[in-house]
Amino acid sequence: MTDKKAEPAWLKPMADYAPLAVFFVAYLFGPKSDDGTSLLAATAALMVATAIALVISLIVARRVPMMPLITAVIVGIFGGLTLWLQDETFIKMKPTIVEALFSLILFGGLLFKKPLLKPLMSSAWPMDDTGWHKLTFRFACFFASMAVLNEIVWRTQSTDFWVSFKVFGLMILTLLFAVAQARLMQRHALPVETEQKKDG
């Protein structure tokens, strides 16, 4: 027995990608700062869109998922610093902090023999414990690599290039990495009969 409200299929993509889309549109068409970019306007739009997405998640599903909540807190802190100090460095560092934090959380779980991806994904793709440990380790390494890559990009490239990397590059790299894990997930997938016995 549970009163947990089932989430509609559109909710997670909305919470994950709508703020990013708003950020990109605001960067393209928002008022420009002294440096000729719209990053400050895009940052403000991102903060508002992220807050709205969390409120919608709370209303529809009666809960806020942990990872979007962590991201929202970091957006609020670094976005607020960006606007307050008029310094774009803080919002450019936000992906670094988010990716590094996710990496540390996953590595921390593995230290205590807890593959934290298992409770998040096991209902969609049942695997044995060895598979979950391997997948969690790989994602922890991937997030750490993305944190380093974001630092390299924003420190060496133009703001326009960084915005494209943040909006499209990180998403594409994450998708490619996830697809590349299919063989591991198939290799450690639990037999259908096992899942049926658990449900029975």
Could you state, in chain order, the average pLDDT of each consecutive group of 10 residues for the chain (200 residues)?
60 86 94 83 95 90 81 93 94 95 96 91 85 96 98 96 96 96 92 55
CA–CA dist 118, 112 (Å, integer): 14
CB 94 within 8 A of CB 154: no
Residue type, 195: E
How many whole angstroms from its chain centre is CA 75? 12
Q: What is the pLDDT of residue 62?
A: 83
pTM for this entry: 0.84
Q: What is the pLDDT of residue 4?
A: 47
For the chain, the domains span: 9-87, 88-192
Distances (CA, A) of 100 to 4, 137, 146: 31, 14, 8
Q: What is the pLDDT of residue 5?
A: 52
Nearest CA-CA partner of 184 in 140, 139, 146 = 139
